[in-house]
Amino acid sequence: MIVVVCGPGGVGKGTVVARLVAEDPRLWLSRSWTTRAPRPGEAADAYTFVDRPTFEAHAASGGFLEHADFLGNLYGTPWPEAGDDHDVVLEIDVQGAEQVLEREPAALVVLLEPPSRQVQADRLRGRGDPPDQVAERVAVAEQELERGRALGAVRVVNDDLDDTVAEVRDLIEARRSW
């Protein structure tokens, strides 16, 4: 099974996914490639950081399950290398979720929604995003939410972290027992 956790930047996808994976050994977290520069203090293994020609060559050779341009940087999911006994978790944007669903219609797609724009902006600032990028990301969030809802993703408002993790875990368990 493929589990896609998508939603606007600053909604807390990374935190939710980290908890899910830490608590469930059957989940295998995909590491994306990006052309974005690492943020100050960001873990070196948060992404596979590459330059644009390297990314584009990998995309041209069919190396990605999906890839997208997000605010001028490229992001992509390499073809998963999880064994059959694992479920793959992708933490990606809504454009990526659309592509995954085209290829894998049985994927479970969860759309994480921020409780409010203010909370989203605070989270983006809190992790050190520059002010111009905070404004840009909040502006695109509304479109992303609309596209995610149109996809038929399961919507989960990330208000309380424990509740959100429990809700997504229940969705995964329910899908496993289909």
Binding mask 13-32 for ligand 5GP (x = CB under 6 A): x------------------x
Q: Pattern 91-130, binding to ligand 5GP, x per CB under 6 A? A: xxx-xx----------------------------------
Q: Which of 121, 128, 125, 124 is nearest to 40 (CA)?
A: 128
Tell me how far apart the alpha carbons of residues 153 and 54 are, in angstroms, rounded to a whole number.
32
Work out how close the CB of 112 gets to ligand 5GP at its nearest, in angstroms, rounded to a whole number.
Answer: 10
CA distance 88 to 154: 17
- Cβ proximity of 128 and 39 under 8 Å: yes
Residue 168 in the binding site for ligand 5GP (CB under 6 A): no
Residue 91 Cβ vs ligand 5GP, minimum distance, rounded to whole Å: 5
Residue 9 as a binder of ligand 5GP (CB under 6 A): the answer is: yes
The CA distance from 47 to 35, in Å, is 9
CB contact at 8 A, 23 and 114: no
Minimal distance in Å, beta carbon 96 to ligand 5GP? 2
Stretch that binds ligand 5GP, among 90-98, 102-110, 115-123, 150-158 (CB under 6 A): 90-98
Q: Rule CB under 6 A: is residue 55 a binding residue for ligand 5GP?
A: no
Q: 143 and 95 in contact (C-beta within 8 Å)?
A: no
For residues 7 and 172, which CB has a smaller minimum distance to ligand 5GP in the complex? 7
Query: Does position 66 bind ligand 5GP by CB under 6 A?
Result: yes
Residue 58 contacts ligand 5GP per CB under 6 A: no
- What is the residue whose two structure tokens read 């933490």? 91
CA within 13 Å, CB half, 52: 4
Q: What is the enclosing helix (H) or strand (E) of 4?
A: strand 2-6
Name the residues that contact ligand 5GP, by CB under 6 A.
9, 13, 32, 36, 66, 68, 70, 75-77, 91-93, 95-96
